[in-house]
Amino acid sequence: MGASSDKCELAIQLDGTSFNAGGEVSGKVYLAVKETIESNTVWLKVKGVEKCDWKKRPSDANRGTKARHYNMGVKIPLFNFDTVSIVPGQYTFPFAFMLPENLPGSFKVKRKSYSAEIMYKVKAEIAPSNDKCYKKSAPFTVKQVITEERYSVSLEKSAQIVTCKCLNKGTTSIKAHLDKNAYLPTERANIIIEADNSMCHVPIKTIEVTLWRTLRLRSNKDNVFYVRDALKTFKTGSVPPSTGLLSQNAIKVEVPFTDLKENIEDICSTKGNKIECAYSFQIRAVLGSINDPSFEVWTLIHPMEMSPQILEAPVDWTPTEMPQARLTIDAAFNYFPSAPPMDDDS
């Protein structure tokens, strides 16, 4: 069923694997006691941690700069028995709690010169006075909530086209419309681009659509690691002078997130204390001038659902179900696991 010993079996199962920051997490703890346990409390720990490290120089053998930050770390009594010990039997402890609203989204990336992770888990624990601690945990993902709605986005940019000889060749404008402002890694973005070149005497050679990822890591001493990657560039056809591709003739670009140079399922949008990751589409009309019209549209990549844990109940499983515990993530229950210093900027 879960963590097992001669005295007891302990398991925990959540009602889902992905939750919005500020949303409710619910589940059950299962306990089968074979011999009396010298403890009368079942604890629930909820932890969220950011950790990252990177090399100051590519030639460094080790990643010398590291950081760790706990977004959440609470230990809450889930159930207190009236007796001083837990007698043999089978028990189910339903629970529910609300996540803080300001939690950053789950995230994970690992490269040769840097790595970063934001992870969350909930753990059931029994700590007998005369024996080892019994514990079992379940990971879950958090979606950082910027907005609950996924809505379309439109932006427009115009520019006076000046050649290298400082000749004014007129005005060109481009407008882009995204079908949504947030996507899952298995989806595709549909972008409609209108190009108005009717007031310009220079052709648009191509319109480029580039998907960018910007990652910032910050150490405990505020040193910053920054990397910006172009994940994919799409190029469309040309637009002659004094013409335009508008309305029904607008350019349609599909960007499948499954067709990138790397898998982004774990490398989702997030804004944490130490880790920030953002995605954007750069739309650019290429005319060869010194100020080609260009703009960026920021978008969100949400994490996928994790595979649920499958628990098999014992054949003789007939538990006593306790009342649901509605727990509060409160500063009074804060605990932060002891850890060695995670930052070495010397």
205 conformational bin, left if phi > 0, alpha if psi -120 to 50, beta if neither:
alpha
Band of residue 342 on the pLDDT scale cut at 50, 70, 90? very low
Query: What is the rounded distance in angstroms from the CA atom of residue 304 to the CA atom of residue 260?
Result: 17
Structural domains of the chain ordered from first start: 3-145+315-333 (2.60.40.640), 153-301 (2.60.40.640)
Cα-based distances in Å from 298 to 28, 149, 256? 39, 15, 16
Band of residue 214 on the pLDDT scale cut at 50, 70, 90? very high
Instruction: Please report the pLDDT score of residue 104 as a whole number.
Output: 93
pLDDT, tens digit (0-9, with 9 covering 90-100), for 68-88: 999 889 999 999 999 999 999
Supply the pTM of this predicted model.
0.84
Query: What is the rounded distance in angstroms from the CA atom of residue 209 to the CA atom of residue 212?
Result: 10
CB 320 within 8 A of CB 89: yes
Instruction: Please report the pLDDT score of residue 163 as a whole number.
Output: 52
Mean pLDDT over all residues of the chain? 86
CB 17 within 8 A of CB 307: yes
pLDDT, tens digit (0-9, with 9 covering 90-100), for 24-60: 999 999 999 999 999 999 999 999 999 999 987 766 6
Query: What is the rounded distance in angstroms from the CA atom of residue 38 to the CA atom of residue 190?
Result: 60
pLDDT, tens digit (0-9, with 9 covering 90-100), for 104-114: 999 999 998 89
